Amino acid sequence: MLMHNPPHPGEIIKELCLEPLGISVTAAADALGVSRKTLSAILNGRAGISPEMAVRLSIAFDTSAESWLNQQSQYELWHAEQHRGELRVRKLVAA
């Protein structure tokens, strides 16, 4: 079942992981082993969570990589569903 308008995973990282710990984007990027630009793009919803980033986040925050990928998938699927009516697809049936 799809969640109603799920947040981008970057919003979760920012609000539930970084802000409560008082960690800056620069410090978090350094700890994750990525550039500030890369992390900033995720936090601002301009980039998604890749499998590698999911593993990095799971190590840094003691979570599962699957949970991060599931959040990204739910976010993308919900947005794709919003345009379902615009897709030009025909049902395939046996001849």
1 pLDDT band, cuts 50/70/90, is low
- Does residue 37 carry a pLDDT above 90? yes
- The domain limits of the chain are 9-86
pLDDT in tens, 38-89: 999 999 999 999 999 999 999 999 999 999 999 999 999 999 999 999 999 9
Half-sphere exposure of 7 (CA within 13 A, CB side): 12
Is 28 buried (19+), middle (13-18) or exposed (0-12) by CB count in 10 A? buried
Using a 10 angstrom Cβ sphere, with 0-12 exposed, 13-18 middle and 19 or more buried, the burial of residue 60 is middle
- CATH code of the region 9-86: 1.10.260.40
pTM for the full predicted model: 0.89
